[in-house]
Copies of this chain bind each other. A is one copy, B any other.
Amino acid sequence: MLDVRRLYLLRELDRRGTIAAVAEALTFTASAVSQQLSVLEREAGVALLERSGRRVILTPAGRSLVAHADAVLERLELAVAELASAREGIGGSLRIGTFPSGGHTIVPAALAELAQRHPALEPMVQEIDSARVSDGLRAGELDVALVHDYDFVPASPDTTVDEVPLLEEPMYLATNTATKTTSRGNTLAELLGPYAEAPWITAREGTTGHAMAVRACQAAGFQPRIHHQVNDFRTALGLAAIGQGAGFVPEMATAHPPAGVVLTKLPLFRRSRVAFRAGGGTHPAIAAFVAAARAAVG
């Protein structure tokens, strides 16, 4: 019988790219991971890895084995969820990951609801970059996470993670009274066009928020001149208010804008979702969090 722990290592290698990264994530030494993968390969009787420069890559056989590993681990997750729901009551710790603006808004409301309904549950919140959520879930560092994506920046599909939609909110263009121009229409190009030469305020490079801003401007026909890179939407609004440029903010951040800001609703959306390990959706603590998060967004 194939050892599922070794299949798990193979899967992590596929996702993380190097043995060293797998070892680091699972707090082993690289040697241990290498040895276990060697054993797996010997048992398989087929080459699963091959060296490529100083790293290793999976052979086709290795990749198809990862697909089986995904299926097996998903089913095990389902079994764990069922056992958890068989235990009476919801309790224990629940590790929650969230993107920063989710932390401000959805999370406190959801946690208040959750604490009231399930006092034995100990939520542990942790801000995390959306791109690292999948790794965190697989490694067991997180049980559930709030994630989002934008138009123009589709999330890459990931079979190891299940997601339930939470919220779809329009993005707003934040400018100020001085720079505001009367728009001639309400397509994205018409709304953004007047700011083709303006300085822009975006999220930090490498984030999906940044990519969304760039691609939205490109779709409107220009390359934005980015002056400010801040992840905090309140800061972005503050900069826009004092005429430092134009920026994108989600509806969630528009509740109490600073004086002088002008907000224009855009035909551009951000979708927030709750993510968890594939098969984990029936886990009572996760299901309770999902329910609380949905209640929190109304």
Contacts and interface: CB of A to CB of B under 8 A. Distances in A.
A132 interface: no
A219 B73 CA distance: 50
A2 interface: yes
Interface string A29-56: 0000000000000001110000000000
Contacts of A184: none
A120 interface: no
Interface of A is mostly: helix
A1 B138 CA distance: 11
Contact of A76 (B1, B44, B82, B86): B1
Contacts of A64: 82, 86
Contacts of A86: 46, 61, 64
Q: How many chain copies?
A: 2
A137 B128 CA distance: 47
A79 interface: yes
Nearest to A81: B68
Given A1-B4, A5-B1, A75 B68 contact: yes
A85 to B, nearest CB: 10
Interface in A82-104: 82-84, 86-87
Nearest to A84: B45
Interface of A: 1-2, 4-5, 7-8, 44-46, 61, 64-65, 68-69, 71-73, 75-76, 78-80, 82-84, 86-87
